[in-house]
Amino acid sequence: MAKYKIVHYINNFFSGAGGEEAAGMRPEVHEGAMGPGLALLEAFGEDYEIAATVVCGDNYFGENLEDATAELLSMIEPFKPDLFIAGPAFNAGRYGVACGTICKAVEKELGIPVLTGMYEENPGVDMFRKDLIVIKTKNSAAGMRKAVPVFKNLGEKLVKGEEILGPDIEGYLERGIRVNYFAEKRGSERAIELLVKKCRGEECPTEYPMPKFDRVEPTAPVTDMAHTKIAIVTSGGIVPQGNPDHIESSSATKYGIYSIAGMERMDKKDFMTVHGGYDRAFVTEDPNLVIPLDVLREMEKEGVIGELADYFITTTGTGTATGNAKAFGEDFVGKLKEDGIGAVILTST
């Protein structure tokens, strides 16, 4: 039987090239295992081989993220590995970011399972925990011995496509992913038991911790509205008749950009709403209730605002994952910038 192939990523320090003085080294590829890879190789046993070790200086990686990633990918790809392991980076911040970045890229570009490991306070953890399985390690290389069997166990499961269990059981850092399971008792009974404990002042652990939503500093105000170009964005689910891009009526996974060039108002002949979260009867009759095109056109003529962008951006808000909404935003802000948009009116139902 052919052995499963692993490619391993390590930094300048663990390759033996040196510390800070070698941190600028460019990507290199070495056949076989080296440094911490030797311990991994031994643990994985005879069905596995470390086909190659790729090395990059932490500073070079950090200063040339895209180039370093591309170079490394081109070195890894020819080995056709079954598994990619980076680090572990322990508490080395730059190394952690490098491990996370290259793992994410390998998973996306080569479509193979990836694994890395870090100490939980490594800044790379928060950047990548949702995307990757990050094995929990101690804060220094002294923790390697303990980490090795965890790499082996998870690596094997990933290669064989077996189910990965919870973070505490498997030994990786909690990823913040909500996964379904069947509990022993139904929800109402569990809730009542928790409430009785809560009333007694006993510990009553929540099944869903409240998230901490992040915040953005308010931008400076618009100083010259009469010369500002405004764009309309909505989560009200307004789309052209027939919903050409099939935007979902709930839990949207996409958004649309549609023209309003030359239109004086939102005509019900042209637009409809697919929003599944409210009684659509009113908006179906008059889409201006969500996209106030009629009054914005007036204001444009009156010179109250400079100009209205000749399109609007739209999606369905109800049940739409915050991650998706964020991704939509990140995706379309480039266009807003490019088109010289000076202010946005975002409407929600």
Chain residues 110-139 in contact with other proteins, contact rule CB under 8 A: 130
Nearer to other proteins, 89 or 305 (CB): 305
Shortest distance in whole angstroms from residue 102 CB to other proteins? 21
Nearer to other proteins, 30 or 335 (CB): 335
Chain residues 71-110 in contact with other proteins, contact rule CB under 8 A: none
Bridge partner residues of 114 (DSSP): 84
Site string for other proteins, 265-304 (x = CB under 8 A): ---------x-xxxxxxxx-xx-xxx-x-xxx-xx----x
Nearer to other proteins, 156 or 298 (CB): 298
Question: Three-state DSSP class for 246?
Answer: coil
Binding residues for other proteins, rule CB under 8 A, total 104
Cβ 55 vs Cβ 28: under 8 Å: yes
Residue 169 DSSP symbol: H
- Using CA atoms, how far apart are residues 18 and 73, in angstroms rounded to an integer? 23
Shortest distance in whole angstroms from residue 157 CB to other proteins? 14
- Using CA atoms, how far apart are residues 59 and 93, in angstroms rounded to an integer? 11
- Choose one: 12-20, 37-45, 72-80, 337-345; the region binding other proteins (CB under 8 A): 337-345
Shortest distance in whole angstroms from residue 41 CB to other proteins? 28
Please identify which residue in the block is written with the tokens 């969500």. 290
Nearer to other proteins, 142 or 346 (CB): 346
Shortest distance in whole angstroms from residue 325 CB to other proteins? 5
| The pair of three-digit structure tokens given for residue 5, joined into one six-digit string | 């192939």
- Choose one: 28-36, 42-50, 99-107, 173-181; the region binding other proteins (CB under 8 A): 173-181
* CA distances (Å), origin 119, targets 90, 122, 140: 5, 5, 8
Residue 320 DSSP symbol: -
277 alpha carbon, distance to own chain's centre: 26
151 alpha carbon, distance to own chain's centre: 23
| Interface with other proteins (CB under 8 A), residue from 109, 174, 264, 310 | 174
145 alpha carbon, distance to own chain's centre: 31
- Using CA atoms, how far apart are residues 74 and 33, in angstroms rounded to an integer? 18
Q: Under the criterion CB under 8 A, does residue 322 sit at the interface with other proteins?
A: yes
Letter string b/e over residues 101-130, b meaning 16 or more CB atoms within 10 A of that residue's CB: bbbbbbbeebebbbbbbbbeebebbebbbe
Chain residues 180-199 in contact with other proteins, contact rule CB under 8 A: 180-192, 194-196, 198-199
Site string for other proteins, 215-234 (x = CB under 8 A): xxxxxxxxx-x-------x-
- Choose one: 88-96, 120-128, 142-150, 210-218; the region binding other proteins (CB under 8 A): 210-218
| Interface with other proteins (CB under 8 A), residue from 14, 58, 235, 256 | 235
Nearer to other proteins, 218 or 262 (CB): 218
Cβ 100 vs Cβ 124: under 8 Å: yes
Nearer to other proteins, 18 or 319 (CB): 319
- Using CA atoms, how far apart are residues 291 and 258, in angstroms rounded to an integer? 12
**Residue 331 CB neighbours (<10 A):** 12
Closest by CA to 114, choosing from 57, 68, 46, 54, is 54
Shortest distance in whole angstroms from residue 107 CB to other proteins? 13
| Interface with other proteins (CB under 8 A), residue from 18, 45, 166, 303 | 166
Question: Three-state DSSP class for 252?
Answer: coil
